Amino acid sequence: KATFTLADGATLDDLVIRDTNEVSLRVMNDHELYKLEMERIFAKTWLLLGHDTEIPKAGDFIVRDMGEDQVIVTRDRNNEIHVNLNVCPHRGMKVCTAETGNAQAHRCIYHGWAFRPDGSFIGAPVEKEKMHGNQREKSELGLKKARVRLYGGLIFATWNINGPSFDDFLGDMKFYLDQLFCRTDSGLEMLGPPQRFVLPCNWKIPGEQSGSDGFHTLTLHRSLMEGGIMGGTAESIYDNAPGMYGVDVSVPQGHSLRCLEAAQTFKMFADVSFEGKTTEERLNLLPPPGVTKDLIPQLFKNLSKEQVEQLATIPPQVGGMFPNILLAFIFAPRTDGGSSGALALHTYVPKGPDKVEFVNFIFAEKDAPEQVKRDMLQNAIQQTGTSGIIEQDDADTWPQIMRNSRGAISKTMTLKYQALHGHERPDNWYGEGLLYPGFTKDDTQWNWWLAYYDLMAEA
Answer for the pair 28, 205: CB distance below 8 angstroms, yes or no.
yes
Outline where 192-256 has alpha helix (H): 204-209, 217-220, 222-226, 237-240
Q: How far is the CB of 50 from ligand FES (least distance, A)?
A: 25
Answer for the pair 74, 61: CB distance below 8 angstroms, yes or no.
yes
Using rule CB under 6 A, residue 180 touches ligand FES: no
Sole window of 110-118, 138-146, 159-167, 270-278 interacting with ligand FES (rule: CB under 6 A): 110-118
Closer by beta carbon to Fe ion, 141 or else 325:
325
Interface with ligand FES (CB under 6 A), residue from 18, 31, 35, 111 = 111
What residues contact 397, with CB distance under 8 A and at least 6 apart?
220
Closer by beta carbon to Fe ion, 127 or else 396:
396
Site for ligand FES in 70-99 (CB under 6 A): 88, 90-91, 93
Which helix (DSSP H) or strand (DSSP E) does residue 149 occupy? Answer: strand 147-151
Other CB atoms within a 10 A radius of the CB of residue 48 amount to: 21
Sole window of 277-285, 300-308, 392-400, 412-420 interacting with Fe ion (rule: CB under 5 A): 392-400
Q: How far is the CB of 307 from Fe ion (least distance, A)?
A: 27
Using rule CB under 5 A, residue 261 touches Fe ion: no
Using rule CB under 5 A, residue 394 touches Fe ion: yes
Choosing among Fe ion, ligand FES, none, which partner's interface includes residue 218 (Cβ < 5 to 8 Å by kind)?
Answer: none
Number of residues that bind ligand FES (CB under 6 A): 9
Q: How far is the CB of 102 from ligand FES (least distance, A)?
A: 21
Other CB atoms within a 10 A radius of the CB of residue 142 amount to: 16
Which residue has the CB atom at the shortest distance from Fe ion? 394
Q: Exposed/middle/buried for 386, CB within 10 Å: 0-12, 13-18, 19+?
A: middle
Q: Which of 408, 407, 417 is nearest to 452 (CA)?
A: 417
Choosing among ligand FES, Fe ion, none, which partner's interface includes residue 394 (Cβ < 5 to 8 Å by kind)?
Answer: Fe ion
Q: How far is the CB of 207 from Fe ion (least distance, A)?
A: 13
Sole window of 127-135, 286-294, 391-399, 441-449 interacting with Fe ion (rule: CB under 5 A): 391-399
Using rule CB under 5 A, residue 22 touches Fe ion: no
Closer by beta carbon to ligand FES, 88 or else 177:
88
End-to-end CA distance of the chain: give it in Å, rounded.
7
For 313-403, strand residue ranges (E) read 316-321, 325-330, 342-350, 356-365
Q: How far is the CB of 59 from ligand FES (least distance, A)?
A: 20
Q: What is the dihedral of CA 174, 179, 180, 183, to 10 degrees?
A: 120
Closer by beta carbon to Fe ion, 375 or else 394:
394
Sole window of 59-67, 99-107, 275-283, 393-401 interacting with Fe ion (rule: CB under 5 A): 393-401
Choosing among Fe ion, ligand FES, none, which partner's interface includes residue 228 (Cβ < 5 to 8 Å by kind)?
Answer: none
Beta bridge partners of 342: 330
Which helix (DSSP H) or strand (DSSP E) does residue 343 occupy? Answer: strand 342-350
Choosing among Fe ion, ligand FES, none, which partner's interface includes residue 291 (Cβ < 5 to 8 Å by kind)?
Answer: none
Closer by beta carbon to ligand FES, 112 or else 228:
112
Outline where 292-363 has alpha helix (H): 296-302, 305-313
Say whether 321 sits in a helix, a strand or coil. strand
How far, in Å, CA of 246 to CA of 326, rounded? 19
Other CB atoms within a 10 A radius of the CB of residue 57 amount to: 8
Answer for the pair 63, 96: CB distance below 8 angstroms, yes or no.
yes
Provide the binding-site residues for Fe ion, judged by CB under 5 A. Answer: 394
- Interacting residues toward ligand FES by CB under 6 A: 88, 90-91, 93, 108, 110-113
